[in-house]
Amino acid sequence: MDILDCKELFAGKRPEKWNDIPDLDLYMDQIIAYMQRQHIGFSVNENLTPAMVNNYVKQKVMPKANGKKYNREHIAYLTAICLLKQVVSVSEVKTLLESQMKGNDIHDFYDKYITILDEKFIDVDNLIDSQLSEDEVSELALKLAVSSYAQKLACECLLEKLNENEKTK
């Protein structure tokens, strides 16, 4: 992947908006195939398997299938889960999603998620310049790595606070 490919990843590729997600029930193999197009990271080095989907359902991170079929809500959950689990544990993803769902439905959450994702991807796209020297590429990679680490620590602290608040209720 060269700089232009990297820039293109952040500049244009996005998950479908709510109304563009198929309003059809899909079987597991169809969900896995759809998520290949839906989740940005799958074009880099991430994946989703039926076992992973079943695990998310078992851990109550997302709702069960309707029979053996999955709908728009499941796609929305999986889109968020696939990104979030790259940063925090599945149990922390569950905590975050449960907190976000209080007083919201999946449509509202998903719209907020897509807005935030778009904003953050534009921020990163603006940092990447195809004219960067090798030293500048190296420095930007270092800054992004350190920033990612700091943000991950902050996220984990906040999720721990959410967990503590739930336990005291």
Q: Is the pLDDT of residue 43 over 60?
A: no
Q: Is the pLDDT of residue 45 over 70?
A: no
Residue 41 lies in a domain: yes
Question: What is the predicted pLDDT for the residue at 44?
Answer: 57
Residue 158 lies in a domain: no
Residue 164 lies in a domain: no
Domain extent, residue 17, equals 3-131
Q: Quote the number of domains for the chain.
A: 1
Q: Looking at residues 50-69, what average pLDDT do you find?
A: 96
Handedness of CA 76, 80, 82, 88 (dihedral sign): negative
Give 60-105 pLDDT, tens digit per residue.
999 999 999 999 999 999 999 999 998 999 999 999 999 999 988 9
Question: What is the predicted pLDDT for the residue at 127?
Answer: 93
Residue 73 lies in a domain: yes
Average pLDDT over the chain, rounded to whole? 91
Question: What is the predicted pLDDT for the residue at 7?
Answer: 80
Half-sphere exposure of 35 (CA within 13 A, CB side): 30
Give 111-142 pLDDT, tens digit per residue.
999 999 999 999 999 999 888 899 999 999 99
